[in-house]
Structure 1
């Protein structure tokens, strides 16, 4: 009589909301802890994404000394006013350091006036203030080279946020080249993506793995357009780097999990700098259509021309 063979039971997993309740964390705290790698996640059923938490991970966290207070301290976020008070400096100096890229935001939201409000990790601000090498930045005149950059209008807050978010998506992707390709594509205008990935079947598959922008307002609303402007690379060197990285990952996907149909021939355009290319005329942040559909010419600039100047970020 042959023995019945049964597949091993899958580990018990919970969705984010249930796991947050079990851990005694607010959902926003839980999501940021996952973002920072403080809580490990596993793929959803079918291997898409990493949205579930194993019971063993929950039990391990609950067994740590000081939990959940220790995690809450590490995910505490503050705005400009709180951050400046924490670092014992005027809010204007804090904003200047952030525009220079010395303080990196971890989140943002749009207030009721549709102004961008950046949020920073309190733990990182404390570490920056405690570092003696930064003493000249906390008090006294701003060094001349930095004043020159500010006078030129530098503002690296959105770009630094994108870099941080990209790191999170790549950690979640592990070694899956399609998920990694989707992470790079998430910060490119759809026109740029179509220019790099010209095979329709590859674009359709890539679209499945391309995370959308954070939810801010109804799709197509002014708030959604502003949020998309922040999540889309704007500087030529940033665009060029993302295009090259996306092209490399697409080449990796053909060996790992190729699309069902042969890919169209690719040329060297992804490796060229954005300044050397002739790009189609469009708004700053067109909508994200289906991968094979033409990109509509709507965008942030057109909306701003109708509605007036964009509110300043705070």
Structure 2
């Protein structure tokens, strides 16, 4: 028998000590409400089976939400543009049906720290309906990977503040700066190289789930990448390595713990510095990751609030290529609110 989840029109959320610490100005914590819902769907994300389950979710939303609008992305960074256009329209809940790339696009539309007017119209909470292949954010917060079960969990969940990572780089010789926010991780080196390769993948590889394409091209890349040494600073202290991952989340590429010290709600970044260069050194790091779900000793962890990177490398944010180094990694000054499932 099917069970239909219900949600009271408005839920007043308790404010924990962590919320107070992360919200020193005392800004209002948004309440979870289905009064006006915007559902953003990436029709190309993940498997057809997962996408088919959206029909049941939409059917329930049409009955439960006072107002519902559904928009479908059709191009890269379409979700960012659409959310920017609509974020001031009084929504009470954003829902994302897609993978981590779609989530990244949405959060980049939700927050704009260069726009003073954005303080007057804070974005509503964001709920995740995981229809991608990796679903790193859903795994990170303990959300079921089945879209319908995730939807049920969200309806009894709690909106909590998280702080996004922010990448700043010089966009052109005139000195103009470009910003890109990330939820899970960003970095430069081998992972940036593979992310760029994945984005340029052939039509044949586009028929394969994206997470598997990362594994395939990542394995090939071990033997063709040149492993230049990159230079990093974390709060002024200097480091070198062949890859630097700036992590907000613990997990990488599914269930694998790459940055055990990271916390989405913490007010600091973790630089995961890969010291060795070459296929053998990387195998020494990756094999423990695959079999024990934790990386080998070749990864050095450095905590900091400002991380800078320079050298010959490509930057990515949540798997989306941004451009070449140098770059500066910081935290957003304002949080967004993410709907977490109720702890079991």
Taking structure 2 as the reference length, the TM-score comes to 0.26
**Larger Cα-atom Rg:** 1
Q: Report which of the two has the higher share of strand.
A: 2
- By relative contact order (CA 8 Å, sep 6+), the higher-ranking structure is 2
